[in-house]
Amino acid sequence: MKLSVIGCGYLGAVHAAAMASIGHEVVGIDVDPAKIEALAAGRSPIFEPGLPELLLAGVESGRLRFSTDMADAAGATMHFVAVGTPQKAGSNAADLRYVDAAVTALLPHLSAGDVVVGKSTVPVGTAARLAELVAPTGAVLAWNPEFLREGFAVQDTIAPDRLVYGLPPAPEDAAVARAAFDEVYAQALSTGTPLVATGYSTAELVKVAANAFLATKISFINAMAEIAEVTDADVTELADAIGYDARIGRRFLNAGVGFGGGCLPKDIRAFTARAEELGRGESVAFLKEVDAINLRRRQRVIDLVVEELGGSAYQKRVAVLGLAFKPDSDDVRDSPALDVAVGLNGLGAEVLAFDPEAVPNARRLHPQLKFADSAEQAVTDADIVVVVTEWKAFRALDPSAVAELTAGKTIVDGRNCLDVDAWRGAGWRYVGLGRP
Ligand code: UDX
Protein backbone atom coordinates (compact mmCIF):
# COMPACT_ATOMS: atom_id res chain seq x y z
CA MET A 1 0.00 0.00 0.00
CA LYS A 2 1.03 3.62 -0.44
CA LEU A 3 1.19 5.32 2.92
CA SER A 4 2.10 8.70 4.31
CA VAL A 5 3.17 9.26 7.90
CA ILE A 6 2.85 12.83 9.14
CA GLY A 7 5.22 13.55 12.04
CA CYS A 8 8.50 11.63 12.27
CA GLY A 9 9.22 11.62 16.00
CA TYR A 10 9.40 8.66 18.38
CA LEU A 11 6.13 7.31 17.03
CA GLY A 12 6.08 8.35 13.37
CA ALA A 13 9.68 7.49 12.45
CA VAL A 14 9.23 3.98 13.81
CA HIS A 15 5.83 3.53 12.17
CA ALA A 16 7.15 4.70 8.78
CA ALA A 17 10.20 2.43 8.92
CA ALA A 18 8.22 -0.54 10.22
CA MET A 19 5.52 -0.22 7.53
CA ALA A 20 8.20 -0.03 4.81
CA SER A 21 9.88 -3.11 6.25
CA ILE A 22 6.72 -5.16 5.78
CA GLY A 23 6.45 -4.13 2.14
CA HIS A 24 4.46 -0.89 2.04
CA GLU A 25 5.57 2.19 0.12
CA VAL A 26 5.93 4.96 2.66
CA VAL A 27 6.63 8.68 2.69
CA GLY A 28 7.42 10.20 6.08
CA ILE A 29 6.73 13.92 6.40
CA ASP A 30 7.93 16.31 9.09
CA VAL A 31 8.33 20.08 9.40
CA ASP A 32 11.85 19.70 10.85
CA PRO A 33 14.36 19.75 7.94
CA ALA A 34 17.25 18.43 10.10
CA LYS A 35 15.20 15.41 11.16
CA ILE A 36 14.11 14.70 7.59
CA GLU A 37 17.65 15.04 6.28
CA ALA A 38 18.90 12.48 8.84
CA LEU A 39 16.05 10.07 8.19
CA ALA A 40 16.42 10.34 4.40
CA ALA A 41 20.07 9.34 4.81
CA GLY A 42 18.95 6.33 6.82
CA ARG A 43 20.09 7.83 10.14
CA SER A 44 17.86 7.64 13.20
CA PRO A 45 17.43 10.97 15.03
CA ILE A 46 16.50 9.06 18.20
CA PHE A 47 18.06 6.14 20.05
CA GLU A 48 15.77 3.19 19.46
CA PRO A 49 17.16 -0.35 19.16
CA GLY A 50 16.58 -1.82 15.69
CA LEU A 51 15.44 1.43 14.11
CA PRO A 52 18.70 2.38 12.31
CA GLU A 53 18.79 -1.00 10.53
CA LEU A 54 15.16 -0.68 9.47
CA LEU A 55 15.62 2.89 8.23
CA LEU A 56 18.66 2.02 6.15
CA ALA A 57 17.01 -1.02 4.63
CA GLY A 58 13.86 0.98 3.86
CA VAL A 59 15.69 3.90 2.26
CA GLU A 60 17.94 1.59 0.24
CA SER A 61 14.97 -0.46 -1.01
CA GLY A 62 13.34 2.75 -2.28
CA ARG A 63 10.17 1.95 -0.33
CA LEU A 64 10.87 4.56 2.34
CA ARG A 65 11.19 8.26 1.53
CA PHE A 66 11.15 11.37 3.68
CA SER A 67 10.07 14.89 2.88
CA THR A 68 9.28 18.25 4.44
CA ASP A 69 6.64 18.93 1.78
CA MET A 70 3.10 17.91 2.69
CA ALA A 71 2.27 17.72 -1.05
CA ASP A 72 4.28 14.47 -1.11
CA ALA A 73 1.47 12.85 0.88
CA ALA A 74 -0.73 13.03 -2.25
CA GLY A 75 -1.21 9.64 -3.85
CA ALA A 76 -1.05 7.66 -0.61
CA THR A 77 -4.22 5.80 0.38
CA MET A 78 -3.62 5.95 4.10
CA HIS A 79 -2.25 8.97 5.93
CA PHE A 80 -1.08 8.29 9.47
CA VAL A 81 -1.02 11.35 11.72
CA ALA A 82 1.66 10.71 14.34
CA VAL A 83 2.53 14.18 15.64
CA GLY A 84 3.02 14.98 19.31
CA THR A 85 0.33 16.04 21.77
CA PRO A 86 2.42 17.53 24.59
CA GLN A 87 1.08 19.03 27.78
CA LYS A 88 -0.17 22.58 27.26
CA ALA A 89 1.94 25.20 29.01
CA GLY A 90 0.31 26.25 32.27
CA SER A 91 -2.39 23.58 32.10
CA ASN A 92 -2.91 19.85 32.46
CA ALA A 93 -4.66 19.60 29.10
CA ALA A 94 -3.12 18.24 25.90
CA ASP A 95 -1.91 20.74 23.33
CA LEU A 96 -3.60 19.78 20.07
CA ARG A 97 -2.04 22.44 17.89
CA TYR A 98 0.26 19.99 16.06
CA VAL A 99 -2.54 17.54 15.33
CA ASP A 100 -4.79 20.33 14.08
CA ALA A 101 -2.00 21.82 11.96
CA ALA A 102 -1.08 18.43 10.46
CA VAL A 103 -4.65 17.54 9.48
CA THR A 104 -5.33 21.04 8.11
CA ALA A 105 -2.14 20.99 6.03
CA LEU A 106 -3.01 17.54 4.72
CA LEU A 107 -6.52 18.47 3.51
CA PRO A 108 -5.55 19.93 0.08
CA HIS A 109 -3.64 16.74 -0.76
CA LEU A 110 -6.37 14.23 0.03
CA SER A 111 -8.41 12.33 -2.54
CA ALA A 112 -11.84 10.74 -2.19
CA GLY A 113 -11.49 7.28 -0.65
CA ASP A 114 -8.26 8.08 1.24
CA VAL A 115 -8.17 7.18 4.91
CA VAL A 116 -6.69 9.64 7.40
CA VAL A 117 -5.61 7.70 10.47
CA GLY A 118 -5.00 9.41 13.79
CA LYS A 119 -2.31 7.69 15.87
CA SER A 120 -1.51 10.51 18.27
CA THR A 121 -2.85 10.25 21.83
CA VAL A 122 -5.72 12.74 22.00
CA PRO A 123 -8.54 13.76 24.35
CA VAL A 124 -11.74 11.84 23.65
CA GLY A 125 -13.87 13.80 21.15
CA THR A 126 -10.96 14.92 18.96
CA ALA A 127 -11.57 12.36 16.19
CA ALA A 128 -15.20 13.41 15.74
CA ARG A 129 -14.09 17.03 15.40
CA LEU A 130 -11.33 16.20 12.89
CA ALA A 131 -13.70 13.98 10.87
CA GLU A 132 -15.76 17.08 10.07
CA LEU A 133 -12.66 18.79 8.68
CA VAL A 134 -11.78 15.79 6.53
CA ALA A 135 -15.30 15.02 5.24
CA PRO A 136 -15.46 17.66 2.42
CA THR A 137 -12.41 16.06 0.74
CA GLY A 138 -14.21 12.71 0.35
CA ALA A 139 -11.59 11.02 2.54
CA VAL A 140 -12.60 9.30 5.77
CA LEU A 141 -11.06 9.61 9.21
CA ALA A 142 -10.27 6.69 11.51
CA TRP A 143 -8.41 6.35 14.80
CA ASN A 144 -5.72 3.77 15.51
CA PRO A 145 -4.02 4.17 18.88
CA GLU A 146 -0.57 2.67 19.28
CA PHE A 147 0.87 1.16 22.40
CA LEU A 148 4.52 1.04 21.55
CA ARG A 149 7.05 1.19 24.33
CA GLU A 150 10.26 3.09 23.76
CA GLY A 151 13.14 0.65 23.61
CA PHE A 152 10.81 -1.97 22.07
CA ALA A 153 9.15 0.32 19.55
CA VAL A 154 10.09 -1.62 16.41
CA GLN A 155 8.92 -4.96 17.77
CA ASP A 156 5.74 -3.39 19.24
CA THR A 157 4.90 -1.83 15.85
CA ILE A 158 5.53 -4.87 13.65
CA ALA A 159 4.03 -7.39 16.08
CA PRO A 160 1.66 -5.44 18.37
CA ASP A 161 -0.13 -7.27 21.20
CA ARG A 162 -3.43 -5.95 19.90
CA LEU A 163 -4.84 -3.74 17.16
CA VAL A 164 -7.55 -1.17 17.78
CA TYR A 165 -9.54 0.32 14.89
CA GLY A 166 -11.58 3.41 15.71
CA LEU A 167 -14.03 3.44 12.80
CA PRO A 168 -16.31 6.27 11.59
CA PRO A 169 -20.02 6.13 12.48
CA ALA A 170 -21.37 5.93 8.88
CA PRO A 171 -21.30 2.24 7.80
CA GLU A 172 -20.04 3.02 4.27
CA ASP A 173 -17.14 5.09 5.70
CA ALA A 174 -16.43 2.43 8.31
CA ALA A 175 -16.19 -0.18 5.55
CA VAL A 176 -13.64 1.92 3.63
CA ALA A 177 -11.52 2.44 6.75
CA ARG A 178 -11.77 -1.17 7.84
CA ALA A 179 -10.71 -2.52 4.44
CA ALA A 180 -7.69 -0.22 4.47
CA PHE A 181 -6.72 -1.25 8.02
CA ASP A 182 -7.09 -4.95 7.18
CA GLU A 183 -4.80 -4.51 4.20
CA VAL A 184 -2.12 -2.43 5.91
CA TYR A 185 -2.00 -4.73 8.94
CA ALA A 186 -2.50 -7.99 7.00
CA GLN A 187 0.76 -9.45 8.30
CA ALA A 188 -0.03 -8.87 11.99
CA LEU A 189 -3.60 -10.08 11.50
CA SER A 190 -2.42 -13.27 9.80
CA THR A 191 -0.51 -14.22 12.95
CA GLY A 192 -3.63 -13.96 15.08
CA THR A 193 -3.09 -10.51 16.62
CA PRO A 194 -6.25 -9.70 18.60
CA LEU A 195 -8.35 -6.96 17.04
CA VAL A 196 -10.89 -4.62 18.60
CA ALA A 197 -12.92 -2.71 15.99
CA THR A 198 -14.89 0.06 17.62
CA GLY A 199 -15.94 3.70 17.33
CA TYR A 200 -13.91 6.88 17.70
CA SER A 201 -14.52 7.50 21.40
CA THR A 202 -13.60 4.02 22.56
CA ALA A 203 -10.47 4.00 20.41
CA GLU A 204 -9.40 7.35 21.85
CA LEU A 205 -10.16 6.22 25.40
CA VAL A 206 -8.41 2.83 25.07
CA LYS A 207 -5.07 4.57 24.86
CA VAL A 208 -5.50 6.90 27.82
CA ALA A 209 -7.16 4.18 29.88
CA ALA A 210 -4.23 1.83 29.24
CA ASN A 211 -1.69 4.47 30.23
CA ALA A 212 -3.75 5.50 33.27
CA PHE A 213 -3.83 1.87 34.40
CA LEU A 214 -0.08 1.41 33.98
CA ALA A 215 0.65 4.68 35.81
CA THR A 216 -1.70 3.63 38.62
CA LYS A 217 0.03 0.27 38.91
CA ILE A 218 3.44 1.92 39.28
CA SER A 219 2.16 4.48 41.79
CA PHE A 220 0.42 1.73 43.73
CA ILE A 221 3.69 -0.10 44.31
CA ASN A 222 5.47 3.18 45.03
CA ALA A 223 2.82 3.95 47.66
CA MET A 224 3.58 0.53 49.17
CA ALA A 225 7.26 1.53 49.13
CA GLU A 226 6.37 4.60 51.21
CA ILE A 227 4.69 2.34 53.77
CA ALA A 228 7.58 -0.15 53.61
CA GLU A 229 9.99 2.66 54.42
CA VAL A 230 8.39 3.26 57.83
CA THR A 231 7.83 -0.42 58.67
CA ASP A 232 11.10 -2.12 57.72
CA ALA A 233 9.28 -4.09 55.04
CA ASP A 234 10.81 -4.83 51.62
CA VAL A 235 8.72 -3.60 48.69
CA THR A 236 10.53 -5.76 46.14
CA GLU A 237 9.64 -8.92 48.06
CA LEU A 238 6.12 -7.59 48.49
CA ALA A 239 5.88 -7.05 44.72
CA ASP A 240 7.14 -10.58 44.04
CA ALA A 241 4.61 -12.02 46.46
CA ILE A 242 1.56 -10.16 45.17
CA GLY A 243 2.80 -10.51 41.59
CA TYR A 244 2.43 -14.30 41.73
CA ASP A 245 -1.33 -13.70 41.77
CA ALA A 246 -2.13 -13.89 38.04
CA ARG A 247 -4.88 -11.32 38.55
CA ILE A 248 -2.28 -8.82 39.71
CA GLY A 249 0.85 -9.82 37.73
CA ARG A 250 4.45 -8.84 38.51
CA ARG A 251 5.02 -6.54 35.53
CA PHE A 252 4.97 -2.78 36.19
CA LEU A 253 5.35 -3.39 39.92
CA ASN A 254 8.91 -2.12 40.13
CA ALA A 255 9.07 0.50 42.86
CA GLY A 256 11.65 3.23 42.48
CA VAL A 257 11.99 6.83 41.39
CA GLY A 258 8.74 6.51 39.44
CA PHE A 259 7.47 6.90 35.91
CA GLY A 260 8.35 9.58 33.40
CA GLY A 261 8.63 9.95 29.64
CA GLY A 262 6.65 11.51 26.87
CA CYS A 263 3.45 9.55 27.56
CA LEU A 264 2.43 8.41 31.04
CA PRO A 265 2.77 11.72 32.96
CA LYS A 266 1.16 13.98 30.38
CA ASP A 267 -1.49 11.43 29.39
CA ILE A 268 -2.87 11.06 32.93
CA ARG A 269 -2.93 14.83 33.31
CA ALA A 270 -4.67 15.34 29.97
CA PHE A 271 -7.18 12.61 30.90
CA THR A 272 -7.96 14.40 34.16
CA ALA A 273 -8.41 17.72 32.33
CA ARG A 274 -10.70 16.16 29.69
CA ALA A 275 -12.79 14.35 32.31
CA GLU A 276 -13.29 17.64 34.12
CA GLU A 277 -14.46 19.27 30.86
CA LEU A 278 -16.92 16.41 30.49
CA GLY A 279 -18.26 16.97 34.01
CA ARG A 280 -16.75 13.70 35.21
CA GLY A 281 -13.68 14.99 36.97
CA GLU A 282 -14.39 12.88 40.04
CA SER A 283 -14.27 9.65 38.01
CA VAL A 284 -10.54 10.02 37.47
CA ALA A 285 -9.69 12.24 40.44
CA PHE A 286 -7.52 9.35 41.70
CA LEU A 287 -5.12 10.05 38.84
CA LYS A 288 -4.11 13.25 40.62
CA GLU A 289 -3.05 11.09 43.56
CA VAL A 290 -1.22 8.76 41.15
CA ASP A 291 0.65 11.79 39.80
CA ALA A 292 1.38 13.12 43.30
CA ILE A 293 2.74 9.78 44.57
CA ASN A 294 4.91 9.57 41.47
CA LEU A 295 6.39 13.05 41.87
CA ARG A 296 7.04 12.44 45.59
CA ARG A 297 9.41 9.60 44.69
CA ARG A 298 11.73 11.98 42.84
CA GLN A 299 11.93 14.15 45.94
CA ARG A 300 12.40 11.05 48.09
CA VAL A 301 15.54 10.10 46.16
CA ILE A 302 16.92 13.62 46.55
CA ASP A 303 16.09 13.57 50.29
CA LEU A 304 17.78 10.18 50.72
CA VAL A 305 20.96 11.45 49.09
CA VAL A 306 20.99 14.55 51.31
CA GLU A 307 20.32 12.41 54.38
CA GLU A 308 23.15 10.02 53.47
CA LEU A 309 25.46 12.99 53.00
CA GLY A 310 24.80 14.03 56.57
CA GLY A 311 22.09 16.63 55.99
CA SER A 312 23.55 18.77 53.22
CA ALA A 313 24.55 18.13 49.64
CA TYR A 314 26.36 21.46 49.38
CA GLN A 315 29.69 21.03 47.57
CA LYS A 316 29.44 17.26 47.88
CA ARG A 317 30.35 15.24 44.82
CA VAL A 318 27.40 13.26 43.59
CA ALA A 319 27.64 10.76 40.72
CA VAL A 320 24.26 10.47 39.02
CA LEU A 321 24.03 7.35 36.85
CA GLY A 322 21.13 7.69 34.44
CA LEU A 323 19.36 10.59 32.76
CA ALA A 324 16.91 8.89 30.38
CA PHE A 325 13.40 8.20 31.72
CA LYS A 326 14.07 4.50 31.21
CA PRO A 327 16.85 2.30 29.81
CA ASP A 328 17.39 1.74 26.07
CA SER A 329 16.14 5.23 25.35
CA ASP A 330 17.69 8.68 24.96
CA ASP A 331 14.40 10.32 25.90
CA VAL A 332 14.59 12.75 28.82
CA ARG A 333 11.05 14.12 28.59
CA ASP A 334 9.71 14.38 32.15
CA SER A 335 12.54 12.10 33.24
CA PRO A 336 12.71 11.32 36.97
CA ALA A 337 16.46 10.71 36.58
CA LEU A 338 17.09 14.13 35.09
CA ASP A 339 14.90 15.75 37.76
CA VAL A 340 17.02 14.14 40.48
CA ALA A 341 20.23 15.41 38.86
CA VAL A 342 18.80 18.92 38.50
CA GLY A 343 17.39 18.90 42.04
CA LEU A 344 20.70 17.89 43.62
CA ASN A 345 22.56 20.40 41.50
CA GLY A 346 20.13 23.07 42.76
CA LEU A 347 21.05 22.14 46.33
CA GLY A 348 24.65 23.03 45.61
CA ALA A 349 25.95 19.50 45.07
CA GLU A 350 28.72 18.98 42.52
CA VAL A 351 26.75 16.66 40.30
CA LEU A 352 28.53 14.68 37.60
CA ALA A 353 25.96 12.77 35.56
CA PHE A 354 26.30 10.01 33.00
CA ASP A 355 23.90 8.15 30.74
CA PRO A 356 24.88 5.82 27.87
CA GLU A 357 22.58 7.63 25.39
CA ALA A 358 20.78 10.60 26.92
CA VAL A 359 23.62 13.05 27.67
CA PRO A 360 23.11 15.20 24.51
CA ASN A 361 19.37 15.58 25.17
CA ALA A 362 19.94 16.28 28.87
CA ARG A 363 22.63 18.85 28.10
CA ARG A 364 20.33 20.66 25.69
CA LEU A 365 17.68 21.06 28.41
CA HIS A 366 20.03 21.64 31.34
CA PRO A 367 23.34 23.10 30.18
CA GLN A 368 24.11 24.01 33.81
CA LEU A 369 24.72 20.32 34.64
CA LYS A 370 28.11 18.64 34.32
CA PHE A 371 28.26 15.42 32.34
CA ALA A 372 30.78 12.61 32.32
CA ASP A 373 31.87 10.51 29.32
CA SER A 374 31.57 7.23 31.21
CA ALA A 375 30.16 5.74 34.39
CA GLU A 376 33.73 5.32 35.63
CA GLN A 377 34.46 9.01 35.12
CA ALA A 378 31.20 9.99 36.85
CA VAL A 379 31.95 7.99 39.99
CA THR A 380 35.60 9.00 40.30
CA ASP A 381 36.06 10.81 43.65
CA ALA A 382 32.30 10.87 44.24
CA ASP A 383 31.08 11.14 47.83
CA ILE A 384 27.94 9.23 46.88
CA VAL A 385 26.60 7.35 43.84
CA VAL A 386 22.95 7.47 42.74
CA VAL A 387 21.47 5.12 40.14
CA VAL A 388 18.29 6.53 38.60
CA THR A 389 17.96 4.70 35.26
CA GLU A 390 18.36 0.92 35.24
CA TRP A 391 20.65 0.58 32.22
CA LYS A 392 22.15 -2.89 31.90
CA ALA A 393 25.62 -1.35 32.04
CA PHE A 394 24.88 0.11 35.49
CA ARG A 395 23.42 -3.14 36.79
CA ALA A 396 26.59 -4.86 35.59
CA LEU A 397 28.98 -2.48 37.42
CA ASP A 398 31.48 -4.30 39.62
CA PRO A 399 31.03 -2.95 43.19
CA SER A 400 34.66 -3.58 44.08
CA ALA A 401 35.96 -1.82 40.99
CA VAL A 402 33.66 1.16 41.62
CA ALA A 403 34.83 1.29 45.25
CA GLU A 404 38.40 1.81 44.01
CA LEU A 405 37.32 5.00 42.26
CA THR A 406 34.92 6.72 44.67
CA ALA A 407 35.62 8.77 47.78
CA GLY A 408 32.47 7.61 49.62
CA LYS A 409 31.03 4.09 49.79
CA THR A 410 27.30 4.82 49.70
CA ILE A 411 25.08 3.94 46.76
CA VAL A 412 21.44 5.03 46.45
CA ASP A 413 19.62 2.65 44.12
CA GLY A 414 16.70 4.73 42.84
CA ARG A 415 15.49 1.83 40.67
CA ASN A 416 15.99 -1.09 43.05
CA CYS A 417 17.92 -2.65 40.19
CA LEU A 418 21.25 -3.54 41.75
CA ASP A 419 22.36 -6.77 43.41
CA VAL A 420 22.07 -5.78 47.07
CA ASP A 421 24.21 -8.64 48.38
CA ALA A 422 27.00 -7.96 45.89
CA TRP A 423 27.18 -4.26 46.81
CA ARG A 424 26.94 -4.83 50.55
CA GLY A 425 29.40 -7.69 50.23
CA ALA A 426 31.92 -5.32 48.66
CA GLY A 427 31.66 -3.00 51.64
CA TRP A 428 29.10 -0.55 50.31
CA ARG A 429 26.29 1.08 52.23
CA TYR A 430 23.40 0.21 49.92
CA VAL A 431 20.19 2.30 50.11
CA GLY A 432 17.20 1.19 48.03
CA LEU A 433 13.67 2.57 47.85
CA GLY A 434 11.15 0.92 50.11
CA ARG A 435 13.56 -1.73 51.33
CA PRO A 436 15.58 -2.05 54.51
C1 UDX B 1 4.26 3.90 27.72
C2 UDX B 1 3.30 2.70 27.56
O3 UDX B 1 3.86 1.54 28.17
C4 UDX B 1 3.03 2.46 26.10
O5 UDX B 1 2.12 1.40 25.94
C6 UDX B 1 2.48 3.73 25.49
O7 UDX B 1 2.27 3.57 24.12
C8 UDX B 1 3.42 4.89 25.72
O9 UDX B 1 3.71 5.03 27.10
P10 UDX B 1 6.89 4.24 27.48
O11 UDX B 1 6.66 5.69 27.80
O12 UDX B 1 7.82 3.90 26.37
O13 UDX B 1 5.50 3.53 27.14
O14 UDX B 1 7.48 3.56 28.80
P15 UDX B 1 7.07 2.42 29.82
O16 UDX B 1 7.87 1.22 29.56
O17 UDX B 1 5.62 2.29 29.94
O18 UDX B 1 7.64 3.07 31.17
C19 UDX B 1 7.12 4.32 31.64
C20 UDX B 1 7.84 4.77 32.88
O21 UDX B 1 7.46 3.95 33.98
C22 UDX B 1 9.36 4.70 32.82
O23 UDX B 1 9.88 5.89 33.41
C24 UDX B 1 9.70 3.49 33.65
O25 UDX B 1 10.97 3.59 34.22
C26 UDX B 1 8.60 3.53 34.69
N27 UDX B 1 8.31 2.23 35.31
C28 UDX B 1 7.86 1.19 34.54
C29 UDX B 1 8.46 2.05 36.68
O30 UDX B 1 8.85 2.98 37.40
N31 UDX B 1 8.16 0.84 37.22
C32 UDX B 1 7.72 -0.21 36.50
O33 UDX B 1 7.46 -1.26 37.07
C34 UDX B 1 7.57 -0.02 35.10
165 phi and psi, to 5 degrees?
-105, 125
| Amino acid in the structure at residue 367 | P
Sorting pLDDT into bands at 50, 70 and 90, what band is 282?
Answer: very high
Atom in ligand 1 nearest the alpha carbon of residue 251: 33
Atom 19 (ligand 1) nearest CA:
259
Query: 151 and 124 in contact (C-beta within 8 Å)?
Result: no
The pTM of the full predicted model, rounded to 2 decimals, is 0.96
- pLDDT at res. 168: 98
Percentage of the chain lying above the pLDDT 70 cut: 100
Model confidence pLDDT, tens digit, residues 221-237: 999 999 999 999 999 99
Q: 6: Cβ below 6 Å to ligand 1?
A: no
- pLDDT at res. 368: 96
* Mean pLDDT across 134-141: 98
Q: Per the residue annotation, which of 36, 134, 263, 359 is the catalytic one?
A: 263
Model confidence pLDDT, tens digit, residues 192-216: 999 999 999 999 999 999 999 999 9
Q: How far apart are the C-alpha atoms of 337 and 377, rounded to whole Å?
A: 18
Q: Are strands 195-199 and 163-167 parallel, antiparallel or unpaired?
A: parallel
Residue of 120, 257, 263 to mutate, ligand 1, most atoms within 8 A of C-beta? 263
To the query of whether residue 263 is one of the catalytic residues in this protein, the response is: yes
Model confidence pLDDT, tens digit, residues 357-389: 999 999 999 999 999 999 999 999 999 999 999
Q: How far apart are the C-alpha atoms of 265 and 336, rounded to whole Å?
A: 11
Q: Where are the alpha helices (DSSP H) in 107-234?
A: 126-134, 153-158, 171-184, 186-190, 200-229
